[in-house]
Structure 1
C-alpha cells in the first residue's frame, strides 16, 4: 500500500479541480502500470555484489507478486484519493508470461501479470485499472480523468502542465511531498524517496501530535480493490466493496 501518494501537491490540485467542477460532469478515469522486463534489468539486480544482485523472482510468485500489488497500487491510491472510495469492481485476470529468466535461471510464474479491473465510483463514474506486463496507458502513479468540459492526463490539465510547489527545485511532480521540497529538495534524489516521506509523517505524528492524511483505512481500501478484482476474475461475479475511508476537505493543511 502507498497512501502517501495523496501527500503530493499535484494530487491536491487535481482533486480540487475535479471537485469544483473544473472538468464538468466526470465520465471515467484510467490508472495502472505495465512493465515488460519487470525488474529483471534493474540496477540493484544486474551486478555481482549482495546489494546489486537481488533476485526479483518473488515478484512473479503468489502470494503478493504481480504488477497490481507491486506498481498499480500507487496509481490506485492517487485515483481513490481524488475520486473517493470505490463501490464495486469486476475484472479479468491471468498469467501472460509463464516463465521468466534471471541470470541464466528459468523461473515459473504463478502470480497474475495481466489484470484489468473496472471500478464503479458511484454516480455513473467509472475507472479502468490495469496491472499488466505490457501497455502503459497512463503516467506511472498518476491516473488520467475525463469529463464533459476537459481532461487531466497525468499531470496536465487540457494539455497544460499543472503548476506545483517544488518545481523551481528541479523536482518532478512525483518527487514533491511535505518533507521533500525547498531546503529538503535533495531528498527527492533518494531512491524510493516516498518511503522517507512516509517515515517522516510517522515521526511528525509521534513527536508533534499532528495526524497525517496517510491512513490505514485508505491503504486497506486500495488493497481490497486489488483482492476483490482477483475474486471477480476468478468467480465472474462483480464484487461489492466493504471498506471505505475519508480524507479532510483541505489536504494541504493536513499534510
Structure 2
C-alpha cells in the first residue's frame, strides 16, 4: 500500500526503482515484488533488481525466477565470477541497446566501461561456474545442504536455551537471536547483537568461516563438513552468553 501511494504521488518524477528482491537475508513480504512490478509498469518506471548476491545462487534464474517477478534490468556479481572479480548488467533488449553504438544514435548511446571489464581469467572462471550450476541436480544439492544446516543449527541453539530465528533462503541465511518473527531490518535490529557477535567469533575461532551476517552454501560442502559445522555450533551454543 505504501509503494502504491508513493508512486501515485511521485510516479511521474521517478525514473527507476532498484531493490534487492531478497533484502540481505529477509525475504520479500507476500505481494511486495508483484506490486512493484505492476506499479512500475503502470507509471513507466524502470524496475531494477540488485541480484549481486542472489543471482545464480537461490536459483539459476536468480530471485526473479524464484519469486516469479521479472524486472526490467538486474545487476549480477559475486557468484557469477566463480570467486574472481566479475559483474554484469542484464535487461530488456530495448534498454540494453543503448550500450551498443550500432543500435542507437550517438545522442542515445551510453558508454559502459570498467577496469576489469571483459577480464579473460574472470570470464573463464565465471563461464565454468555457470556450466557446473547448469548440471542436473545442483540446486537440489544446495537446497538440501542448506535445509540440513538450518534444521541442525536451530535444534542445537534451541536445545541450549537460545531463542533464535533463522532467516533467509536455504542457500543464504543467518541466525537472529530473537523470539520475534523477522520481517524487516527493524526486526533484525531487535535481535541480540551481542550474542550474534559471540556466536560468529566462536565459529571463527574453531575455523568455521561464515560470511559476515550470513551463511553461504556451497556445492563444495561435504557431509563431513556439515557434521563438523553442527558439532561446533553445538559447542558455541553452550559457550556464548545467555
TM-score (normalizing by structure 1): 0.29
Higher helix share: 2
Higher strand share: 1
